[in-house]
Amino acid sequence: MTFVLNTFGRLQLVDGQGSLVAFPEKGLLLLVYLLTTGQGSADRTTLARFLWGDADRDVALSTLRKLISRIKARQTELGINILSSQGNTVSLDRESLSSDLLLSETDEAVASFSLLKHLVKLLNQPFLGPVHCHSREFQHWLAEREKGHIDLLASTLKTVSRRAQSRTESELLRQAAIILFRTEPKDPDTLQLLIEIFKAEEEVESLRNHFEQRQISISRGIAVRTASDGGDTKPVLPALAPSREKHATAVSLEPQDLSIAIPRLVLLPPRNQSIHPQAGFLAASLVEDITIGFCAFNSLQVIAPYSAVQIGHHMETQKAFFERHHVNYILDTRISNAGDDVTLFAQLIFFDQNQIVWAERFSLDHRDLVKDRRAVSRRIALSISSEIERHEALREDLNPAAYHRYLVGRRHLARLTLPNLRRARKEMKAALGISPDFAPALSSMARTYSKEWLLTARGDIDLLKTAETLAKQATETRLDFADGYREFGVAKLLQGAFDESAEAMEVAESLAPHYADVIADYADTLVHCSLPAIALRKIERAIELNPLSPDTYFWTAAGANYALGEFEASLDYIGQMADASLADRLAAASWAMLGHQDRARIFVRRFREVNPDFDVDKWLSAVPSKEQWHKDLYREGLKKAGF
């Protein structure tokens, strides 16, 4: 049987009937890589570096050996032999594996509309989808592959652009041109090709205006209105300005074609060049807070703070990260001394042209923090798009001392331990003592109580009731504050009020559609609501927005896959956690459901060492799950594992 490796959209292996075949993600990446090598083979050192980068060589090679052993065991189960190894060489049998990979260049002799149609279908999806591999070698390889795809599209499009003989072929040319325009909007050759395809200079301008109008419309909150036409509904764009109106119908774009109009921004953590450690502490809080504030913009996508911090510490891989995740703007910050003052220097860089758009220096004296936060946020927003409305947070009349205490408290929430929760609560109480209606402090205070309930596992309902009350106060103080609804949803979920929790999370996501942490908590809620398929789509979206994700994201994804019966996928996500021991129960259950009791018992023993009194039924009675089948599935796995 010939198997097919799909690389566009989700990376997956399917059999001859088109059914999905469970296979380790890192194994699939090996298959993709070997397909792109000349001989279909590579030495182990090269493969280990590709998958794990500059990690300890011996550890990487040992991990590779385990991966290859796992792949061989899986191949035996499937009755295939795609991947084999001999000595130091790992090889691929290309006869038993086909793929949608774009491996070769084209020329005028082979370029055709059928090829162009195939390219459009593939390139309208992300290459490799949400895979989790962050080595420098992988990023370079990926960038080369994606450049090769665009070059292939451009050469094919250029060759067939004058051959169109039907409306269908003309429309195909336009679809291909839009994909090319997304990737290379400033490239002279691309623009010239667009001029030819759209027949006139003014229609190229119309294409640009269409994208710009979509961006402006979203920022004003009137992007799409519903109009009734014979019982059907359809999206209607707002009227264009008179100077553009005559070109309004020159290009027909689908909604997904317009998403490129939304720019992506990453705010890097500040580099501390000051002799005052406290300055770095406060500046990092300030930049993270500005980032979260930007998550509320519909007309701006922001890389989540966790990923920004991770990539901020790895200068050598930043460029590949920015290219892969289509970052347009970078806010680079550093702390320094200016005389007796400690300042934050910020510059906004337009990555596409490596151009500094704006730069300014701000005092880090706590009395100036609120004013400077507003100034930084406002200037960045105006630099990216003059039409973005100021976010309500930029107009808040905050007390500087309250904001200072809030920032200090936020840093304690970064690592969830009981001492840290109580330190954070103390700072939030102080902030609220100064400014009782400060919504961010109210929601953060709520978080300390719900997290304490989880960490202590004593079932103290008063903690959850307090969290619920504080979160509700936050939403009443600011009706548009996503974090308030998020914390209300968490508190309700832990009390078993599934529908109320899901409703609150839906409101939170609608208020902050690009806030990865909100989307991740929504996904976790949906898992507990026994809706794992929807939860998985949500958490994959959160991972897309926060590519260097925290462990909780992978844990949620693993739980969703377990509930779907995708036990290998669950283990793959657990394997991506920095501290996989947090999910030992889930790993044990997954291995047991796969029939590997020996592997399951390893995790049972490890968990028992820390939690000797763990009781399955008592624990399941406390864990909120809406449907009984969900609890039964978890109980089955845990019992099979030996709990």
Report the candidate in 396, 407, 296, 294 with the shortest Cα–Cα distance to residue 348: 294
CATH match of 264-389 with 3.60.150.10: no
CA-based angle 266:271:274, to the nearest 5?
150
**Residue-level pLDDT at 144:** 86
Q: pLDDT grade, residue 391 (50/70/90)? A: very low
CA 372, distance to chain mean position in Å, is: 28
Choose the weakest-confidence range: 64-73, 217-226, 484-493: 217-226
- What share of the chain in percent tops pLDDT 70? 73
What CATH superfamily is the domain 397-513?
Tetratricopeptide repeat domain (1.25.40.10)
Fold of 530-642: 1.25.40
Give the HSE-up count for residue 373: Cα atoms under 13 Å, Cβ half-sphere. Answer: 32
| Greatest mean pLDDT among 72-86, 199-213, 429-443 | 429-443
Does 340 have pLDDT greater than 60?
Answer: yes
Which residues 6+ apart lie within 8 Å of 511 measured at CB?
296, 480, 481, 482, 485
Q: Where are the beta strands (DSSP E) in 166-278?
A: 225-229, 232-236, 264-267, 271-272
Which tokens hold the place of 125?
Answer: 């999806």
Q: pLDDT tens digits, residue range 439-448? A: 889 999 999 9
Contact 547, 538 (CB under 8 A): no
β-bridge pairing 271-272 and 232-236: unpaired
**Residue-level pLDDT at 296:** 53
CA-based angle 527:445:452, to the nearest 5?
60
Which tokens hold the place of 542?
Answer: 């959160």
Q: pLDDT tens digits, residue range 129-187? A: 777 777 888 888 888 888 888 888 888 888 877 777 777 777 788 778 777 766 665 56
Contact 317, 325 (CB under 8 A): no
Indicate whether this model's pTM tops 0.85.
Answer: no
Mean pLDDT across the chain, nearest whole number? 75
What string of H, E and C letters represents the secondary structure of 369-413?
HHHHHHHHHHHHHHHHCCCCCCCHHHHCCCCHHHHHHHHHHHHHC
Does 53 have pLDDT greater than 60?
Answer: yes
Does 200 have pLDDT greater than 50?
Answer: no
Please indicate whether residue 53 or residue 586 has the higher confidence score (pLDDT): 586
Please tell me whether residue 277 adopts helix, strand or coil conformation: helix
Give domain 3-102's CATH architecture: Orthogonal Bundle (1.10)
Choose the weakest-confidence range: 89-98, 212-221, 310-319, 512-521: 212-221
Q: End-to-end CA distance of the chain, in Å? A: 40
- What share of the chain in percent tops pLDDT 90? 17
Q: What's the rounded Cα separation, in Å, for the pair 555 and 71? A: 23
Reading phi first (left if > 0) and then psi (alpha if -120 to 50, else beta), residue 565 is in left
**Residue-level pLDDT at 277:** 65
**Residue-level pLDDT at 396:** 45
Q: pLDDT tens digits, residue range 115-134? A: 888 888 888 788 887 777 77
Q: pLDDT grade, residue 472 (50/70/90)? A: very high
Choose the weakest-confidence range: 207-221, 317-331, 391-405: 207-221
Spans of all domains in the chain: 3-102, 121-222, 264-389, 397-513, 530-642
Please indicate whether residue 84 or residue 228 has the higher confidence score (pLDDT): 84
Q: What's the rounded Cα separation, in Å, for the pair 11 and 594? A: 22
Does 280 have pLDDT greater than 60?
Answer: yes
Does 591 have pLDDT greater than 80?
Answer: yes
In this structure, how many other beta carbons lie within 10 angstroms of the beta carbon of residue 519? 28
Domains 3-102 and 397-513 share a fold: no
